[in-house]
């Protein structure tokens, strides 16, 4: 639904995001001239705040942006080209008021900045909804998409330059889109994947869709490998990455009384398995005499025979004062001795 249509408010009022609809009612659409005036006020006020504090705030800004070239004479221009975000401006305001005595224009400038910011964000929330509607059913709820898009709108407002000559809606559309896509990559999956991996999987899925549509049927692994000039192992890897993980905590019914995890078989060992395990441990304990002292300690610690729990290679190495690799070598030698001992029952009996 077009967010510029008045009927959109009726639909929004029945949904969870009615607070955004209320925000939009309080901030009607701006004309091009009104928008330009508010943008000019926002930009001029932000720059005025930075210039007002330049006598005492250079070291403060330098700590925030250490990568900038602070040796230039006009460091204000260098800083302004970076476009400080609203959080930094707010932190600067708090710091300046705490360290400045006497009258100052800062509170008045800050009110003017907040007024312009509120008007521009409120009047463009419809654009955020319009872009967010294009990404529904991709892993995030509409309210979450709108929140991500709102962050993009805020960043667009901070970086926008009135002298560019472009409409703010045109400029902010890019940032809204980018933040929503980033939110989908980071939050839509149960298991987060690196951004480059997500991009590779999406590229593979688009290519796979094209060749399957051309073939008119699902293709085998070998056919996909041949069509895309890829190794079968790589094709299988991308297919597995594209699978949607299923949470075992997901409810099986609407009332949520049971989850899929509750239907799994118990992993506790049976009585037979427990007795068999105890028999093996007793057999190892009775055979430790064929090992030297250090090998005996390693086997006992590794398999929890005399110490109540199993120890890792690092823990054993720290206790014996040797490397983890040496612990592995000694364990291997000790197990070989035990196997040879068990393979000679007659000699043990005699």
Q: Cβ distance 334 to 298 under 8 Å?
A: yes
76 within 8 A of 111, measured Cβ to Cβ:
no
Whole-angstrom distance between the N-terminal and C-terminal Cα of the chain?
90
0.85 surpassed by pTM: no
Whether the Cβ atoms of residue 149 and residue 131 lie closer than 8 Å to each other: yes
Q: Which conformational region is residue 10 in: left (phi greater than 0), alpha (psi within -120 to 50 degrees), or beta?
A: alpha
| Domain map (residue ranges) of the chain | 7-187, 195-241, 271-349
Centroid of chain to Cα 57: 34
Crossing angle of helices 86-99 and 54-64, rounded to 10°? 130
Q: Which residues pair with 259 in a beta bridge?
A: 251
CB atoms within 10 A of CB 302: 21
For 259, the 3-state DSSP assignment is strand
Q: Please name which of 130, 116, 51 lies closest in space to residue 86, comparing C-alpha atoms.
A: 116
Which single residue is written with the structure tokens 């009384």? Answer: 257
User: For residue 154, how many C-alpha atoms fall within 13 Å in the half-sphere facing its CB?
Assistant: 14
Structure tokens at 90: 């707010």
pLDDT in tens, the chain (350 residues): 444 444 444 444 444 456 666 666 777 788 889 999 999 999 999 988 888 887 777 888 888 888 777 777 778 888 888 888 888 888 888 888 888 877 888 899 999 999 999 889 988 988 998 898 888 877 788 888 888 999 999 999 999 998 888 889 889 999 999 999 888 877 766 666 676 777 788 888 889 889 888 888 888 888 888 888 888 888 888 888 776 666 666 676 666 666 666 666 545 555 655 666 677 667 777 777 788 888 888 888 887 776 667 788 878 887 887 888 888 888 888 888 888 887 775 544 44
For residues 297 and 293, what is the distance between their CA atoms, to the nearest angstrom? 6
Residue 136, SS3? coil
* C-alpha–C-alpha distance, residues 61 and 84, integer Å: 9
Q: Are 235 and 224 in contact (CB under 8 A)?
A: yes
pLDDT value at position 141?
83
Give the integer Cα–Cα distance in Å for 235 and 241. 10
Specify the CATH architecture of the domain 7-187: Up-down Bundle (1.20)
Tokens matching residue 98: 């705490």
User: Domain 271-349 carries which CATH code?
Assistant: 1.10.10.10
Are the beta carbons of 203 and 197 closer than 8 angstroms? no
Tell me the angle at which helices 313-320 and 324-342 cross, rounded to the nearest 10 degrees.
Answer: 100
The DSSP call for residue 251 is B
Identical fold between 7-187 and 271-349 = no
3-state class (DSSP) for residue 5 = coil
- How far apart CA 94 and CA 10 sit, in angstroms, is 41
- Cα distances from 180 to residues 128, 132, 149, 160, 168, in angstroms, run 10, 7, 5, 19, 18
């Amino acid at each position: 639904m077009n967010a510029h249509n008045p009927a959109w408010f009726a639909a929004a009022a029945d949904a969870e995001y009615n607070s955004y609809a209320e925000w939009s009612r309080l901030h009607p659409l701006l004309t091009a001239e009104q928008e330009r005036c508010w943008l000019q006020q926002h930009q001029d006020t932000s720059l005025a705040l930075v210039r007002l504090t330049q006598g005492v705030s250079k070291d403060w800004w330098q700590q925030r942006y250490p990568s900038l070239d602070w040796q230039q004479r006009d460091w204000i221009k260098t800083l302004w080209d970076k476009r400080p975000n609203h959080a930094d401006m707010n932190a600067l305001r708090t710091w300046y008021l705490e360290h400045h005595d006497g009258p100052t224009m800062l509170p008045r400038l800050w009110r003017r900045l907040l007024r312009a910011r509120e008007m521009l964000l409120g009047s463009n929330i419809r654009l955020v909804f319009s872009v967010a509607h294009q990404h529904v059913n991709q892993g995030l709820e509409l309210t979450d998409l709108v929140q991500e898009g709102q962050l993009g709108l805020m960043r667009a407002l901070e970086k926008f330059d009135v002298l560019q000559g472009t409409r703010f809606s045109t400029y902010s559309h890019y940032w809204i889109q980018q933040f929503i896509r980033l939110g989908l990559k980071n939050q839509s999956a149960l298991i987060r994947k690196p951004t480059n991996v997500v991009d590779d999987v999406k590229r593979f899925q688009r290519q796979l869709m094209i060749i399957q549509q051309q073939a008119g049927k699902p293709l085998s692994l070998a056919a996909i490998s041949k069509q895309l000039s890829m190794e079968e192992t790589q094709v299988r890897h991308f297919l597995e990455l594209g699978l949607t993980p299923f949470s075992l905590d997901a409810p099986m019914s609407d009332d949520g009384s049971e989850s899929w995890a509750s239907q799994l078989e118990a992993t506790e060992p049976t009585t037979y398995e427990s007795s068999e395990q105890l028999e093996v441990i007793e057999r190892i304990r009775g055979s430790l005499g064929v090992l030297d002292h250090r090998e005996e300690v390693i086997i006992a610690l590794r398999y929890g025979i005399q110490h109540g729990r199993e120890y890792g290679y690092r823990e054993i190495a720290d206790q014996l004062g040797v490397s983890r690799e040496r612990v592995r070598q000694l364990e291997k030698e000790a197990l070989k001795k035990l196997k040879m001992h068990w393979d000679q029952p007659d000699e043990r009996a005699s």
